[in-house]
Amino acid sequence: MSQKIDAAAAIRLLDAGRAVAVDVREPDEYAVGHIPGAKLLPLGQVLSRAGEVLPDRNAPWLIYCRTGRRSADAVQKLESLGYTDLYDLGGILSWPYEIEGDFEGHF
């Protein structure tokens, strides 16, 4: 089952170690800036690599992209693979907390 989650609730889960962020953008976008500790699983690889990158289908995963479109698609694909605890965080553009990467103040 999946649900939408806002940044404030997401950061509480991440800080408590109760969830892991998953970036479904492309590697070059991830390199520019991502949520600290986020795993990279590009949308085009969700069906083929989810089991490798996200081995626990019952763990809480926070799925995000740039604006929210790809994260919603990724959540549907992960649900079809049997993932049970998914949170659609939407886009990193609305993430008000720390970002790590090689960005220069823009995405």
Catalytic residues: 65
Main-chain dihedrals φ then ψ at residue 4, nearest 5 degrees = -75, 150
Spatial separation of the C-alpha atoms in residues 41 and 30, rounded to whole Å:
10
Rounded (10°) CA dihedral 15, 18, 23, 27: 80
Burial status of residue 74 (CB atoms within 10 A of its CB: 0-12, 13-18, 19 or more): buried
Main-chain dihedrals φ then ψ at residue 9, nearest 5 degrees = -70, -35
